[in-house]
Amino acid sequence: MAKIIFYGGKGGVGKTTCSTANSISYAERGLRTLLVSTDPAHSISDVLGVKIGKKIINLRENLDGLEIDPEYEAELYVNKIRENMKTILSNVIIEEINSQLDAAMVSPGTHESALFDKISDIIIDKFEEYDIIIFDTAPTGHTLRILTLPDLLEGWMGSLAKKRKSIVDMNKMVTRKYDKKDPVLEILEKRQKRFSEIKKIFNDNDNVRIRFVLNAEKLPIEETKKAIKMLNQFNIPVDTLVINRIMPDDIGADFWEKKKKQEEEYLLDIEKEFRGKEFIKIPMLDTDMSKDTVDRLSKFFND
Ligand SMILES: Nc1ncnc2c1ncn2[C@@H]1O[C@H](COP(=O)(O)OP(=O)(O)OP(=O)(O)O)[C@@H](O)[C@H]1O
Ligand SMILES: [Mg+2]
């Protein structure tokens, strides 16, 4: 059985719901389970009604939870780079680079690298402690970029380390002072080692599983097709699809009445909670998305 499961899929298909439910089922079978949210929206806390944070907490027997905050991790990540730089560069250069790092903090690439660093830490540090680690991710694009990062980053780190090494070797030839271990090279080599460690875990197909959640509707099907194709290019197989929100076989009037009643209650809640706002109400259609359906829906926008 896989140790690490990533839940991916289009926005709103049920990744958080299904990854949480799956974690509970493993925990109930006696497996030590860790559920990790990498979604900035942090909805596991909302689903379980428990405040989960940056530290691992126990949720119930055999089940622990943790929410990674990409914003916070990016800040830590950039600050770590700042600290490392201080030891090797002059103040003038540091000031210039600092302003570049401030800009990097808000760029999506930094968030993903920081998030990937954190995910790697969890996997490497907790691999022995838990039987299963389940990751709930933000919508597809995000998951794909995270999963394909080890390949990209390892190559990139490797070429940076190689370049740095040739500079260090050259310096050694011209000055004799350079016999201390180069701090930049040390950082690069350390990160490279971590990436190959995580890649080794990722590349063992028995360790990692990707579960794509989808609904039996056109758009999630299309998105799942594209995602599987892309992951195949990186040799990351997807062998399980979780098809969520399938209507029950014995569906009858009482099912719809119950749904309708629940909806009415929530509509009242929305009107109360967001009093003063304007509401545009769009009905659920009995057909799937297509040009005709959006045409039909367009009639409800009268403002
Ligand atoms: N099987 C189900 N039956 C009924 N409602 C469901 C089911 N699965 C999910 N939902 C509801 O659908 C909504 C979206 O679910 P969820 O938050 O799990 O999706 P998600 O894929 O994690 O979304 P996001 O992409 O925003 O992270 C929620 O309101 C959830 O309660
Ligand atoms: Mg979610």
Using one digit for the tens of pLDDT, what is the confidence trace for 98-153?
666 666 666 666 777 778 778 888 998 898 999 999 999 887 666 666 677 666 66
Determine if ligand 1 sits within 6 Å of the CB of residue 14.
yes
Domain 4-244 = CATH 3.40.50.300: yes
Give the mean pLDDT of the chain: 83
Using one digit for the tens of pLDDT, what is the confidence trace for 17-44?
999 999 999 999 999 999 999 877 777 8
The answer to whether the CB of 74 falls within 8 A of the CB of 111 is yes
Q: Where are the domains of the chain?
A: 4-244, 257-298
Look at residue 252 in the predicted model and tell me its pLDDT: 92
How far does the centroid of ligand 2 lie from the alpha carbon of residue 224, in Å?
16
How far does the centroid of ligand 2 lie from the alpha carbon of residue 39, in Å?
6
Using one digit for the tens of pLDDT, what is the confidence trace for 180-235?
666 667 777 777 777 778 878 877 767 888 899 999 999 899 999 998 998 888 77
Q: Which ligand 1 atom lies nearest to the CA of residue 136?
A: 22
Q: Whose CA is nearest to atom 27 of ligand 1?
A: 138
How far does the centroid of ligand 2 lie from the alpha carbon of residue 6, in Å?
12
Bridge-based pairing of strands 63-67 and 57-60 is antiparallel
| pLDDT above 60: residue 177 | no
Look at residue 75 in the predicted model and tell me its pLDDT: 81
What global pTM score does this model have? 0.82
